[in-house]
Amino acid sequence: MKKTSFLTRMMTAAGMMALLIAGCKKESSDTLSTQEEDQVAQFSAESEVESQFAFNDVFDNVMGVDNELGIGGVGIFGRVAGDSRTQKTDSIPSCVKVTIVPLQPFVFPKTVTIDFGTGCLSHGHLRSGKITTVYTGPLREAGKSATTTFDNFTIDSFAVQGTHRITNTTAPASLQRQFKMEVINAKISKPHDNYEEWNATRLHTQIEGNATLLPGDDIFSITGNSTGKTKRGSLLVSWSSEIQEPLIKRFTCRWFSKGSVKTVRNGLPANTPWVGILDFGNGTCDNKALLTINGISRQITLH
């Protein structure tokens, strides 16, 4: 019985290795079938959306801790829809523990740990673990930055690793605040050993709400690009993305309400039809986007 068990395990391992090798070969292949190209384009676009979702959530929470560190009153620190989110609250969900060291005001650098414990349901998402952010100064000031790392952090079914950095890059005398967001060596692990790797650079330019301290009227226009790698079952694919039309993000809306992103598998020619175009709509705040691949459109639901 022991020999049979050992052989069974060896055959299973060999089968899994063969699938992985096949996936790796497809990553570098330029001759996928039509069905495979469509699938790869869809997976790449979905991975871009999922990665954006995870790290935009981090952006909002890092900015939202309080008015000294960031904007205050956004992300999990803002009121839920239905309450007056035009009022800055700096509220903390009861299942979240926030530690700030040092506590003295206007003393930097500050280290802020947001601890979601073993599970905290807030603002429509279940989070657990910790995110730790080091602020070099108030993010309202040009040149100041906040760098975030993760300790067993998950949001919904995604486990998040990597480094997230926000830097205030506002030009002198500019009337529009600007923040550079960098995601460095990120990995989002999903059920069934699937994952996404992501590196991204985004420029968030505040186009409305600069004249007030209340976050409820803040609207950002986002540009930038990214690279990623996606594993879905036996398929392993590398891809790149570029924001074609600036993404519009209101702090009072969970999702992008406008803009488009192009994703494409690495190694394809410039005129390939196997490009994914994600269109986030015409300005309405909803959880829908339109994904178009090779002239065929399908609606996808955002997290």
End-to-end CA gap in the chain: 47
Task: Say which range, 13-27, 92-106, 143-157, has the weakest mean pLDDT.
Answer: 13-27
- pLDDT over threshold 80, residue 237: yes
The separation between CA 269 and the C-alpha centre of its own chain, rounded to angstroms, equals: 27
Has residue 123 got a pLDDT over 80?
Answer: yes
pLDDT tens digits for 76-122? 987 544 333 333 344 688 899 999 999 999 999 999 999 999 999 98
Give residue 82's pLDDT. 39
**What pLDDT, on the 0 to 100 scale, is given for residue 9?**
41
Q: Nearest Cα to 58, choosing from 139, 210, 209, 164?
A: 164
| Dihedral (CA of 205, 208, 212, 215) sign | negative
Task: Tell me how far the alpha carbon of residue 184 is from its chain's centroid.
Answer: 12
Q: What is the pLDDT of residue 211?
A: 74
CA 259 to chain centroid, in Å, comes to: 16
Select the highest-mean-pLDDT range: 17-21, 26-30, 166-170. Answer: 166-170
The pLDDT, as a whole number, for residue 148 is 98
Q: Is the pLDDT of residue 18 over 70?
A: no
Residue 225 clears pLDDT 90, i.e. is over it: yes
Give pLDDT, residue 109. Answer: 98
What predicted TM-score, i.e. pTM, was given to this entire model?
0.85
H helical segments located in the chain: 2-28, 34-64
Q: What are phi and psi of 131, to 5 degrees?
A: -120, 135
Where does residue 124 rank: exposed (0-12), middle (13-18), buried (19+ CB within 10 A)? exposed
pLDDT at 253 over 60: yes
* Average pLDDT value for the chain: 86
Name the one residue in this structure whose structure tokens are 């981090």: 58
- pLDDT at position 265 is 95
What are the pLDDT digits (tens) for 280-294?
999 998 989 999 999
The pLDDT of residue 87: 37
Share of the chain above pLDDT 70, in %: 86
